[in-house]
Amino acid sequence: MTRDDLFNTNATIVATLTAACAQHCPEAMICIIANPVNSTIPITAEVFKKHGVYNPNKIFGVTTLDIVRANTFVAELKGLDPARVNVPVIGGHAGKTIIPLISQCTPKVDFPQDQLTALTGRIQEAGTEVVKAKAGAGSATLSMAYAGARFVFSLVDAMNGKEGVVECSFVKSQETDCAYFSTPLLLGKKGIEKNLGIGQVSSFEQQMIAEAIPELKASIKKGEDFVKNMK
């Protein structure tokens, strides 16, 4: 399926489910993993606004799969334990809107530019790599389940009072001129406690951000328009 096919299938599903959440559990933390996340999060926000219960600190686009992949690919190249590698991934959750900040990786790693470009491309297109490996018979399942679980466990830990819990997520944001943008977030009892922002980035990463914004804006508008035009 293309992202457009995904949109046509999932937009209605997400709008229906989130309308039920807005009516019956408006205070819940809403974690959306249904693609295209760049559009389904704006759909969720607009549905919650329609019901008068919108709280931007409690609506999360789960992009953790990009972080898990970035950590794994960097670890493989450097002979590290992926569980001890942390690459923040910002922007969105599709193609060139996926922006791994390898300059902010802990532990610190360095790659020559050609290898960095190839690695970034692999992180961005890893979903397609899985589809090809499965010869079109499916997409990422176990890795997505793992990533979704990781994000939810982090959120539950934070809700239960654990301090210093940080995860990247696609949320309502003022970090760029996109209405929604993924950055590292400090999570707390009431959802987003603090947006930690983009931080220092390399010129290569800065260029990726600039290139991602028009596509992100179009995906966000598509989600918002869908809710506006709903019967």
Give the active site residues. 93
Q: What is the DSSP letter of 84?
A: G
Q: Within a 10 A sphere around the Cβ of 49, how many other Cβ atoms?
A: 14
Gap between the Cα atoms of 30 and 41, Å rounded:
10
What's the CA angle centered on 144, arms 142 and 149, to 5 degrees?
95
Write phi, then psi, for 5 (nearest 5 degrees): -60, -45
Q: Within a 10 A sphere around the Cβ of 83, how many other Cβ atoms?
A: 9
Closest CA to 146 of 39, 66, 90: 66
Those residues with Cβ within 8 angstroms of residue 3's Cβ, 6 or more apart along the chain or in another chain: 35, 36, 94
Q: What is the DSSP letter of 186?
A: E
